[in-house]
Amino acid sequence: MAEMRFDGRVAIVTGAGSAAGLGRAHAMLLASRGARVVVNDLGGGPDGLGIERSHADLVAGEIRALGGEAVADVNSVASEESALAVVGTALERFGRVDLLVNNAGIVRLGEFGALSSGDIRETVDVHLMGNVWMCRAVWGHMVGQDYGRIVNVTSIAMWGAPNTLIYGAAKAGILGLTRGLAFECSQAGRNIKVNALAPHANTTAAYYFNEPTADRFKADRPPEAVAACVGYLCHEDCGLNGAYVASGVGHTAVGVFGVTAGFDAGTGMTPEDVRDNLGAIVDPAGFEVFPENPIAGLVDLKDGAARA
């Protein structure tokens, strides 16, 4: 099988300046396979607190030292103007943009009542709105050239995890954004694929989430294993659109969404009907995948290969 390469493609990877981060791993992989890369990182560090600093110029330098093409960008993703500036770096240096990996993020942990208003706003601005603004900044270019691949980083925290309520809510919003953009592209027949990635890897941010088990993260969850999945999702051969993809430790899977068979009492249903038939309502035995599921209608599986 031919190697999956990105010769002639221009990629933007946000949050890519950490020495042990997912963004760096994604940028390095794309560059190693021929992509010209904008290494974006504001510099605050993967913890979002400035305890661990990030350096986009160092990662871009690593890529160039290995014979690749890269430029550093230190704009924020948290506002429309700064997101446009990130894309402006790609256009000024490389003349186009084909791939976007929305990896930038910060960590703000705490119970709902303990988080400050500033923590809440900053988390939403960087995670959810950062994805919105970056997607919007590249959108016109991708539509104009009828080509683009976008990977939006979400998290299993969206399903609920200790001290991550706002972070998880923002990540859930990212999945909604991803599904909506993918649907829009599918309806319009555009050659743009948008997918959401929930990574499992050893990063500095993961350390702040899981300090008691940090050694385990260091030992068995290399970011490079996740980067392999990002490489696929960024490639022209990508056969997924609107998918929720979980990847880490060499394992990749797609999350599906649906409903139980439920209980039907007709238009006269009462609160008591819901109470008295709750067992049937929540019974997973009759679970059916939603028709708009990311791998139903948007992916054609034939002869073991995924085709758009």
Could you list the active site residues?
Answer: 167
Q: b/e map of 50-76 (b: 16 or more CB within 10 Å)?
A: eebebbbbebbebbeeeebebbbbbbb
Q: Are 174 and 131 in contact (CB under 8 A)?
A: yes
Q: b/e map of 188-210 (b: 16 or more CB within 10 Å)?
A: eeeebbbbbbbbbbbbbbbbbbe
Q: How far is CA 27 from the centre of its chain?
A: 14
How many Å apart are CA 205 and CA 28, to the nearest integer? 19
Q: Give the pair of three-digit tokens for residue 8.
A: 């002639």
